Amino acid sequence: MGQNLFVVARGPRAKVVDRTEEETVVSDDELFELVGRRLSERPGWSFQPSTTPGGVPSWCLDPGGEPVASVNVAEAVVIAYLPSEDREFRFVGVDELIEWLDAREGR
- Predicted confidence (pLDDT) per residue in 51-66, tens digit: 888 888 999 998 877 8
Amino acid found at 107:
R
pLDDT of residue 9: 42
pLDDT at residue 37 tops 90: yes
Domain containing residue 48: 5-105
Inter-residue contact 34 to 95 (CB < 8 Å): no
Amino acid found at 54:
G
Residue 46 pairs with which residues in a beta bridge?
A: 60
pTM over 0.85: no
Inter-residue contact 42 to 3 (CB < 8 Å): no
* Average pLDDT score over residue span 5-23: 47
Q: Which of 29, 67, 77, 16 is nearest to 46 (CA)?
A: 67
Task: Count how many domains the chain has.
Answer: 1
